[in-house]
Amino acid sequence: MAKLAEIITYVPGQHDPSHVKWCGHTFQANVAKEIKGDPDGTSSEKLNAQLIESARNNPHFVVGEGAKATRASRDKMPKDAKGYRAYFVNWLKEETFETPEDLIGRFARDRELQAKCDVGPDDFAQIGELFDPRLHELAKACDLAEAQIAAVWVNHGYNQLPW
């Protein structure tokens, strides 16, 4: 067999943690990670190859570009808090964000939808567990300090975080 290299993304469900450890790797929610393996290589490479194959059949992981959920189920507008959380997870993992401004702006656009779906404190707490790692990653990539991120939130009408 040939060497394997795949991009694997952990996509948590409603009550799942914001990160998991699997086969010696830590996966942050909705953050893609490249895994390289070789079924005929070292024990570590063999384990990585098994991880890649197992992830293909695991509903909490997306492998590569072709393993996305059906668009019809994603494009439905949510009608309740549970539906909004699923909708949020989908746009968080599928949309490309280059800056914290992009990510916070996208979240802010959903303010009316969040209200219509009766998204409450418990829902926002779960959303925050997924949102914060992505925001931290973007802030680090853009070399922005905490005060600068706070200013972006204020610019989008948030004087305090919803979570």
Q: Which amino acid is at 21?
A: K
* pLDDT at position 16: 77
* Joined tokens for residue 105: 């702006």
Sign, Cα dihedral of 91, 110, 100, 16: negative
pLDDT for res 73: 40
Rounded Cα distance between 130 and 133, Å, is: 6
Summarize pLDDT for 13-72 with one digit per residue, the tens: 767 788 899 999 999 888 889 999 999 999 999 999 999 999 988 888 899 864 444 333
The whole-number pLDDT of residue 14 equals: 65
Per-residue pLDDT tens digits for 80-120: 999 999 999 999 988 889 999 999 999 999 999 999 999 99
Residue 65: the pLDDT is 66
* Per-residue pLDDT, 156: 94
Rounded average pLDDT over 130-135: 96
Q: What is the pLDDT of residue 67?
A: 44
